[in-house]
Structure 1
């Protein structure tokens, strides 16, 4: 017998999939939009369904007092604690394509160059961050990041993680951002 998962539909008829990220500080419930962001949301759901987030954590906190980028943003980054993800990179889905903007609580994929993202590294935005959208100046290529979902419960947990001050002095760009003791993501599963 196959598993059944909850698919939500909002007032506009858009379908979303609910996922619970259980951390050592509490649960974060997100919804992802596979219709609007099929590559990014699909990759994230593939990680969820295949159990690829085993050993994941929130390991980076970005605040105005420690951000070396421009313009300054606020976010927490999580995922696998490895430089070698278990899956291939996916094509970039810009906010211009999906219409999903980087607003407070948005879930998005981390990347270096365009086309180098996987769900192995994702972040949650704190406050509205238009510089991370297509045309924004956070990246020199102005392609922005690939937002694919949002937090619906647990922003208090996200903010608590962001305020952790015990960090390492790793690298100039991320100095003061890498948590000395990452916050474990104990499980990631679709909401029943």
Structure 2
């Protein structure tokens, strides 16, 4: 019995660390820790809520029209410390989430950003980055993990909805976890080792630019976080990333024509 309880607590704390590393706009000093603790879970709060874009279908949600979409697949090569990581981005099953990522890659947003959270203990979990604030080397490390992409034209942060497609279904569920939506099927894109997914705060629709690589199969995250692709080459590079390492560059090498941007 003690073994089951211990495993449950480890999972709970790991998930807590991931959620708290999302795109909240208030700084909490514990966000920079590469490991999770009970204190982090109990003391971290979010003072501003993401703009709600909750909906069960993209057709019923006008906010979707203002977001990039990836209609098909694309390949992104992310270089870290001179070594390439090849990512297949899946817009067929996660068009908004994949479109957001490819659009930010095209804009050069990820170039020079830091991986601010790396969790390998007590077991392999995630490598997380994508906070635009980390491009500034003088930005305090203990404040990383709180930023998102700011639209230059509006000065507002871009948020995307939680987008997860149930296996065998034609369309994703938007703005709700599978538990909230009453979905019992597994997602089409699952948290297998090498998956890339969006980080978020407690609000389902609070993802912006932060992403994470799954260092192991993380089935307990399925239906709660949006996977949008997989590492197809270079997972050994992902496995060597340390907290504080920077992304040299991220480039779309195939499928750029599948990106559809509003306007």
Q: What residue is the counterpart of 2:204 in the other structure?
A: 114
Q: Deviations over 1:44-100 (max 9, x none)?
A: 0110111122331222111232xxxxxx76110011253332241111112533610
Asked if structure 2 preserves the Cα contact closer than 8 Å seen for 1:25 and 1:183, the reply is no
Q: What residue is the counterpart of 1:44 in the other structure?
A: 101
Asked if structure 2 preserves the Cα contact closer than 8 Å seen for 1:95 and 1:101, the reply is no
Q: Max radius of gyration: which structure?
A: 2
Q: Secondary structure at the match of 1:18?
A: strand
The aligned runs of 1:74-85 (5 Å cut-off) are: 74-82=125-133, 83-85=146-148
Q: Secondary structure at the match of 1:39?
A: helix
Q: What residue is the counterpart of 2:214 in the other structure?
A: 125
TM-score, normalising length from structure 2? 0.51
1:16 deviates by: 2.0
Pick from 105, 125, 128 the counterpart of residue 194 of structure 2: 105
Asked if structure 2 preserves the Cα contact closer than 8 Å seen for 1:78 and 1:121, the reply is yes
Asked if structure 2 preserves the Cα contact closer than 8 Å seen for 1:55 and 1:80, the reply is no
Q: Secondary structure at the match of 2:246?
A: strand
Q: What residue is the counterpart of 2:232 in the other structure?
A: 152
Q: State yes or no: 1:92 paired with 2:162.
A: yes
Higher strand share: 1
Q: Where do 5+ consecutive residues of structure 1 fail to align?
A: 1-13, 66-71, 135-143, 165-178
Q: Secondary structure at the match of 1:51?
A: coil
Asked if structure 2 preserves the Cα contact closer than 8 Å seen for 1:107 and 1:147, the reply is yes
Against the structure 1 CA distance between its residues 73 and 131, is the aligned structure 2 distance closer, same or farther, given a 3 Å change threshold?
farther
Asked if structure 2 preserves the Cα contact closer than 8 Å seen for 1:22 and 1:187, the reply is yes
Asked if structure 1 preserves the Cα contact closer than 8 Å seen for 2:129 and 2:212, the reply is yes
The aligned runs of 1:31-70 (5 Å cut-off) are: 31-65=88-122
Q: Deviations over 1:127-176 (max 9, x none)?
A: 11011111xxxxxxxxx100000000111011111xx4xxxxxxxxxxxx
Q: Secondary structure at the match of 2:192?
A: coil
Asked if structure 2 preserves the Cα contact closer than 8 Å seen for 1:95 and 1:147, the reply is no
Q: Secondary structure at the match of 1:107?
A: strand
Aligned residues: 145
Higher helix share: 2
Against the structure 1 CA distance between its residues 95 and 106, is the aligned structure 2 distance closer, same or farther, given a 3 Å change threshold?
farther
Q: Secondary structure at the match of 1:32?
A: strand
Asked if structure 2 preserves the Cα contact closer than 8 Å seen for 1:21 and 1:185, the reply is yes
